[in-house]
Structure 1
């Protein structure tokens, strides 16, 4: 909305209603119930956001309806989930305006869950799960050595094999751009042939990992 306001030269904008529709649910300013998403299965669903806004145009307040449509990809585990939202179009309707435009360069990844507070002090763990890039679904395999405090793995099925090079356990901060929420805890950062990657541990005993490659170009999640 701020982007559109700048485009149309409008400064004073307020939101009167906001609704998200996905998974057969309509959330009016609240949250979708993601507990209904099947476990460990990449779920695709139509995604729609709509908002009514009041904007001051040439000294007069007018009401406009903004809609952004696209597709969501959600992978849920017992202690975490990752959701990718790919808008494909937006529209704006109101006094003197009735426009619809295609979107091809916007992607948002949201990570939710219960971060691990205390990592295992020793031992090894192998995580398997799914990865996605907004078009295809792939397979994640990742191994962690808690003695050495390192991890490495790979992603297949998204075209060229993604090699997640050995990275070190460190502190991780993740900001969810779409809703402004924030997660922090233990994780691993490393490099790959597709850009840097970062993942976080979830569950009381680091049962799960969730992460991204190249600032969200690829999302992945796995459990042991």
Structure 2
């Protein structure tokens, strides 16, 4: 298209020039050549203008195309830059999120580590506190046991808890032709956790030398006493009822004397059983000892301080009894029965559950 236009224009110019310069023209009209020349020149000028306009239009179109391409290229670069920015921002966001996740994971790890350490420290402290509490409790128990043993005045190794033991000492043997007399002291011990019931008797025994049988048994100066950790009056329960169950002994039974230096022996016979009920609300108590023939009736008595004293009855024989409460919360009782002027029975018991 561009090649054809210059060719046509050149042809027009050529034809116009030829018409204006023909030497064989016989026209003698004076103004005709001038008119033709002017027309030719005008056509040439118009053609030139048209060509220049075409070229200017073509140049403008080329510039517009170049501008379009430049714009398109700029837009493409802008788009690429936008995408690159978007990619960079996306990567930055991903990096931020990754860092945030890493920071959170690290924070979680540290928090977990701190929580585990805190828990370990808590458990360690709890264990240490428990160990310290156990140590103090053990120390307090040992101190209390030492205090109780000092108050009892006996060895728990020789006299185990819950047992009634006898120990015969200080033998004096007087033989004659017909009989042998033995004089000794008998010790009876009923050891409980907080209290002990002790009895001492002077005993004379006579044996037939021919048969070896015991012919005579005399007791003198019997003495029963109760020792231990007495309950403070303020610590006596204030309501409900409870039964104390335990054992009793009389110490006056026909049992041969032990040989000198014999360790204490457990008494399996000649024992009684105690049942004693206390009404803490009414502050009264009464009970019974069985196992010594007729029941030993412990009549109702009133609590005074941490003691009860009242009448007793053994068959037809009247008497008195007294008991004390022992332990931090009246866990035990220990006492004796006196018939006439003689300490006859020692007893003790442990409290059951308080019924309210």
TM range (shorter): 0.5 to 0.7
Instruction: State the distance in 2 between where 1:217 and 1:165 align.
Output: 16
Query: Are 1:191 and 2:311 matched, yes or no?
Result: yes
Query: Are 1:110 and 2:225 matched, yes or no?
Result: yes
Give the aligned CA root-mean-square deviation in angstroms. Answer: 2.4
Between Structure 1 and Structure 2, the one with more helix by share is 2
Q: String of CA shifts for 1:12-48, please: whole Å, max 9, x gaps.
A: xxxxxxxxxxxxxxxxxxx652453111111122133
Structure 1: which 5+ runs fail to align? 1-30, 51-67, 90-101, 172-185
Alignment of 1:42-61 (within 5 A): 42-48=164-170
Instruction: State the distance in 2 between where 1:216 and 1:122 align.
Output: 32
Other-structure match for 1:41: 163
Q: String of CA shifts for 1:137-180, please: whole Å, max 9, x gaps.
A: 10000000100000011000011111111111014xxxxxxxxx
Other-structure match for 2:209: none
Instruction: State the distance in 1 between where 2:298 and 2:280 align.
Output: 17
- Structure with bigger gyration radius: 2
Cα offset, 1:112, TM superposition = 1.1
- C-alpha change, 1:35 and 1:187, in structure 2 (3 Å) is farther
Name the structure, 1 or 2, with higher relative contact order (CA <8 Å, separation 6+).
1
Other-structure match for 2:42: none
What's the secondary structure of 1:122's corresponding residue? coil
Q: 1:148 aligns with which of 264, 282, 302?
A: 282
Between Structure 1 and Structure 2, the one with more strand by share is 1
Structure 2: which 5+ runs fail to align? 1-152, 173-182, 205-216, 254-269, 352-356
The alignment of Structure 1 onto Structure 2 pairs a total of residues equal to: 153
- C-alpha change, 1:197 and 1:77, in structure 2 (3 Å) is same
Q: Under a length normalisation based on structure 2, what TM-score does the superposition of the two structures give?
A: 0.40
Other-structure match for 2:250: 133
- C-alpha change, 1:165 and 1:111, in structure 2 (3 Å) is same
Q: Under a length normalisation based on structure 1, what TM-score does the superposition of the two structures give?
A: 0.62
